[in-house]
């Protein structure tokens, strides 16, 4: 309980997201005070480059001593928007030790060390909130943790990385090149400090780990998530998807097995039909479907990246943490009682689109078809296009285990008549 005294907030990091948090805390001060029941004040802003002009932030609040700031005994809530593992982890730890609650957008840290952070929050009677860490502005974690706490979630599927969605969208709709689109996404503040995290799927995989943990009341770490990024998606894959009435999206898919005894979490590009709602998710927008026993299918949609939308999610968490300080209550802690094992990717069953370069001569098609049959992978459609003694063969399969498809491709690569495997992509959303 705080007896109406002002609540003091320490902001760590004043970049794309942090600068917007600072602006909103200041410009919305009156509304925040009314909603919390006490004034909410910025008590310090830790930065790396103090000389930079930071509009709207009083210069006396700026410090380069982040450790000193989180060690202050008068701080009620620490907002961490530095990113990365260290020093963010140590700073959050110190914040908890000093009784402060923590609001963070740091999915990388949560996917690596979430359980330790929850444990530290518990030990010191503080709150840990991180709505901004998954799907930016979209209220998704709070609905999963609170609104659906009485239901049983079986599947979470969606687009959770704005940068890669922006790139794929630009490549598909305006024919932009990969690098040009990445540069634009970076300039708009969507990409991570190192955009490899986005394009190689690490960011989406961290979000998938967080989502799977919360949805299935278990623990899933970044290393448990099968991860493929978009760096190998070519203009020809996108054109091929178009010919099938599909588009290519980077999806995060978390599922609980039908027998309820294990879970899977994966991130990879996939072809989805143009008629699927995810196909119309443009630019840096995100959309996530949640399927639950009683609620049925729910869809969450909105801005998944960018300074202002992300700051909205942080401010929501800040209000929750401050309200708890005022009333002496606590927000939800970790719920990981199921401790379900994570199954390997080989067990996951999906459809595949495989593009092969083959010799254009009689018998090749039946030879290729026999390899699929030998591995128990059933073919749905085949399209062949000849070009100067060579041909391109596009095979779309029925649903098959990932391990069976991997073995099929391995055998195909060994055939003399198969010159190369141009691309393999999963097909989802049908």
Q: Does 304 bind ligand LTNE7NMQ (CB under 6 A)?
A: yes
Q: Which does 189 bind (CB under 5 to 8 A by kind): ligand NAI, ligand LTNE7NMQ, Na ion, none?
A: ligand NAI
Among 193, 299, 370, 373, binds ligand NAI (CB under 6 A): 193
Q: Which does 18 bind (CB under 5 to 8 A by kind): ligand LTNE7NMQ, ligand NAI, Na ion, none?
A: ligand NAI
Site for ligand NAI in 36-95 (CB under 6 A): 46-49, 66, 81-83, 87
What gap in Å lies between CA 47 and CA 42, rounded to an integer? 14
Instruction: Give burial (CB, 10 Å; 0-12/13-18/19+) of 47.
Output: buried
Biggest alpha carbon–alpha carbon distance for the chain? 85
Site for ligand LTNE7NMQ in 122-141 (CB under 6 A): 136
Strand ranges (E), 388-417: 390-397, 400-401
SS (HEC) of 36-97: HCCCEEEEEEECCCCCCCCCCCCHHHEECCHHHHHHCCCCCEEEECCCCCCCHHHHHHHHHH
Binding-site positions for NADPH = 107
Q: Does 204 bind ligand NAI (CB under 6 A)?
A: no
The dihedral region occupied by 296, where left means phi > 0, alpha psi between -120 and 50, and beta the remainder, is: left
Binding-site positions for NADP(+) = 12-19
> Measured from the CB of residue 394, what is the shortest distance to ligand NAI in angstroms?
36
The three-state secondary structure class of 5 is coil
Q: Which does 201 bind (CB under 5 to 8 A by kind): Na ion, ligand LTNE7NMQ, ligand NAI, none?
A: none
Active site residue 123: no
Pull the structure tokens for residue 241: 């998807």
Nearer to ligand NAI, 134 or 265 (CB): 134
The catalytic position among 8, 123, 207, 361 is 207
Among 9, 10, 11, 16, binds ligand NAI (CB under 6 A): 16
How many other β-carbons are positioned within 10 Å of the β-carbon of residue 313? 28
Q: Does 138 bind Na ion (CB under 5 A)?
A: yes
What gap in Å lies between CA 152 and CA 158, rounded to an integer? 18
Binding-site positions = 12-19, 107, 192
**Beta-strand pair 128-129/101-104:** parallel
Pull the structure tokens for residue 266: 């994966």
Count residues contacting Na ion (CB under 5 A)?
Answer: 5
Phi, psi of 376 (to 5 degrees): 75, 20
Q: Which residues bind Na ion (CB under 5 A)?
A: 131, 135, 138, 140, 313
Q: Which residues bind ligand LTNE7NMQ (CB under 6 A)?
A: 136, 161-163, 190-192, 198, 203, 304-305
Q: Which residues bind ligand NAI (CB under 6 A)?
A: 12-18, 46-49, 66, 81-83, 87, 105-107, 132, 136, 189-190, 192-193, 305-306, 310
- Report the catalytic residues: 207
């Amino acid at each position: 309980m705080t007896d109406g005294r002002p609540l003091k907030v320490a902001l760590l990091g004043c970049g794309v997201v942090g600068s917007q948090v600072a602006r909103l805390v200041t410009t919305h001060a009156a509304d925040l005070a009314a909603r919390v029941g006490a004034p909410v004040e910025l008590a310090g802003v830790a930065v790396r480059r103090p000389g930079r002009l930071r509009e709207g932030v009083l210069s006396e609040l700026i410090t380069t001593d982040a450790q000193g700031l989180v060690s202050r005994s008068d701080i009620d809530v620490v907002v961490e928007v530095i990113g990365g593992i260290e020093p963010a982890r140590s700073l959050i730890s110190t914040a908890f030790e000093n009784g402060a609650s923590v609001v963070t957008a740091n999915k990388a840290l949560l996917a690596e060390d979430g359980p330790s952070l929850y444990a530290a929050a518990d030990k010191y009677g503080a709150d840990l909130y991180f709505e901004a860490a998954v799907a930016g502005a979209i209220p998704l974690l709070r609905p999963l943790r609170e609104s659906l706490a009485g239901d049983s979630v079986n599947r979470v599927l969606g687009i959770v990385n704005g940068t890669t969605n922006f790139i794929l969208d630009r490549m598909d709709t305006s024919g932009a090149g990969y690098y040009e689109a990445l540069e634009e996404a970076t300039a708009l503040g969507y990409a991570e400090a190192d955009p490899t995290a986005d394009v190689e799927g690490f960011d989406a995989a961290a979000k998938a780990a967080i989502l799977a943990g919360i949805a299935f009341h278990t623990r899933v770490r970044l290393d448990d998530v099968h991860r493929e990024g978009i760096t190998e998606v070519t203009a020809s894959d996108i054109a091929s998807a178009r010919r099938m009435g599909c588009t290519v999206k980077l999806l995060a898919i978390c599922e609980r097995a039908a027998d309820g005894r294990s879970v899977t979490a994966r991130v990879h590009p996939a072809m989805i039909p143009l008629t699927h709602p995810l196909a119309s998710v443009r630019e840096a927008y995100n959309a996530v479907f949640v399927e639950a026993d009683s609620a049925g299918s729910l869809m969450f949609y909105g801005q998944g990246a960018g300074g202002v939308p992300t700051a909205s999610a942080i401010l929501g968490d800040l209000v929750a943490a401050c309200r708890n300080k005022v009333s002496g209550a606590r927000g939800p802690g970790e719920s990981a009682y199921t401790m379900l094992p994570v199954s390997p990717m080989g067990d996951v069953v999906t459809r595949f689109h495989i593009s092969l370069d083959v010799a254009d001569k009689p018998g090749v098609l039946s030879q290729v078809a026999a390899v699929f049959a030998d591995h128990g992978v059933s073919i749905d459609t085949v399209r062949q296009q000849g070009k100067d003694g060579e041909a391109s063969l596009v095979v779309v399969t029925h649903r098959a285990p990932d391990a069976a498809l991997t073995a099929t491709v391995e055998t195909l690569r060994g055939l003399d008549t198969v010159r190369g495997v141009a691309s393999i992509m999963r097909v989802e959303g049908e």
